Amino acid sequence: MHRRPRPPVKVLFIIKQRVAYGTKTKAYGLVNSCRFVTEQLRSLGIQADVVEVIDNNCIDRVVSEHKPTHCFIEALWVVPTKFRELARLHPKVKWTVRLHSMVPFLASEGMAFEWVNAYLALQSEGIDISVSVNNHRMFADMNTIYPGRVSYTPNIYYPDPSNEVTESFVYPRRDTMHIGCFGALRVLKNHPQQAVWAMEFAESKDKTLWFHVNISEHEQHEASPVLRNLRAMFTNTPHILVEHLWYNHRDFIELVKQMDIGMQVSFTETFNVVAGDFVHCGVPVVVSREIDFVIPECRADATNKREVLSALDTAWNGIKESCQRKWFGCLSSAVQTAKQYANLRYWNRQAMLSANADLLQEHNNRATEQWIRVLRAR
């Protein structure tokens, strides 16, 4: 007896649209991360789309339009009871609520685990719904609470291939150092502490620091505590705080290329798209130990000044030759000859940037294999 062939997989990611002061905000990390996964799935021949909606009431419409087999609700914003209605209207859709935060971030949302409990309780009513996370450590944590009931769907970094990355390395500007510490201005992102260490590092190189951050429309109109403190911290220093609005991804990439170093030494991360942007652009980045696609020499404890300053020094100068064979392989004889006449710092940095790119690609390969397993399983 022949089995009936399974229908082709069609994936839909649904994100709640951010609206501030009457206007839709520019693309942000969650949108970009979903677009990256979508593009990677499409490259494998899997139909996938990502849409933004205003609220719960728009989900039925977009699902009716796209007719997915798998629908991923990105982050916690759909009230659990809504899935009873959605399951009745779309009984063949496999629903997944996909979390993008570690436990410390989720704990700041008062209803987070109550909603997760409610989502999983709907399974007993015959509703095809599950919960997934995008980080392997969070996957282990959630399966401690919900054994065998949470899946792992990691982020993928897949930038627009038409956005060509040009040579990013520039020799140090005479008097300034540009460090980009982008991303949402939240306490656990650790911006103020990173700013202090960036100031100290710039001064050690006899540079004036230009510390670049993003500000959302909300933060611009209702200055957040983090932004207010950052502004005050720079007031009585020779250093400069540069505030950028949220850009579309293509424009943001151009901004990243102008930085000397990136910093993402945050307390908690599930992936960190901004760090991926720096690696993609070939710009050195210093990160916390939460981010594993940057070389260990540029990772640091988010509360350890000595480690952060050491990582900044590595990012500035590149990994030394003793480490290059580990990350860069055996340099060709032509490169070895060129090193005798070229700036040694340039080659040290090129070894570091190549190593970062390799680590990010390794992550992407593992993540892609995991997505295929999850979509086949459900």
Banded pLDDT at 355 (limits 50, 70, 90): very high
Domain spanning 176-363, CATH architecture: 3-Layer(aba) Sandwich (3.40)
What pLDDT, on a 0 to 100 scale, did the predictor assign at position 169?
47
- Is the pLDDT reported for residue 15 higher than 50? yes
Name the region of 62 (left: φ>0; alpha: ψ -120 to 50; beta: rest).
alpha
Nearest residue to 107 via CA among 187, 32, 14, 218: 187
Structure tokens, 278: 């720096």
Residues near 305 by beta carbon (within 8 Å), at least 6 away in sequence: 197, 200
- Give the predicted TM-score (pTM) of the model: 0.88
Region 97-103 average pLDDT: 96
Region 113-128 average pLDDT: 97
For 26, which DSSP code? P
Domain spans in the chain, listed from the N-terminal domain onward: 10-153, 176-363
Strand positions, DSSP E, 134-284: 150-152, 176-180, 208-215, 240-245, 261-264
Q: Yes or no: say if 46 and 375 are a contact pair by the CB < 8 Å rule.
A: yes
Nearest residue to 179 via CA among 233, 231, 242, 229: 242
Q: 28-32, 57-61, 64-68, 233-237: lowest mean pLDDT where?
A: 28-32
Amino acid symbol at 157: Y
As a whole number of angstroms, the distance between CA 353 and CA 262 comes to: 12
Q: How many CA atoms lie within 13 A of 193 on its CB side?
A: 18
Q: Do domains 10-153 and 176-363 have the same CATH topology?
A: yes
Longest dimension (CA), the chain: 80
What are the phi and psi torsion angles at 24 (to 5°)?
A: -70, 135
What pLDDT, on a 0 to 100 scale, did the predictor assign at position 341?
43
Q: Yes or no: say if 378 and 130 are a contact pair by the CB < 8 Å rule.
A: yes
Query: How far is residue 150 from each of residues 85, 97, 378, measured CA to CA in Å?
Result: 23, 10, 13
Q: What's the chain's average pLDDT?
A: 88
Q: How many CA atoms lie within 13 A of 210 on its CB side?
A: 11
Structure tokens, 361: 């690609």
Query: How far is residue 195 from each of residues 7, 182, 237, measured CA to CA in Å?
Result: 52, 12, 12
Q: How many CA atoms lie within 13 A of 314 on its CB side?
A: 26
Banded pLDDT at 299 (limits 50, 70, 90): very high
As a whole number of angstroms, the distance between CA 302 and CA 209 comes to: 20
- Is the pLDDT reported for residue 284 higher than 70? yes
Region 179-197 average pLDDT: 96
Helices (H), 94-186: 103-106, 112-121, 136-145
As assigned by CATH, the class of the 10-153 domain is alpha beta
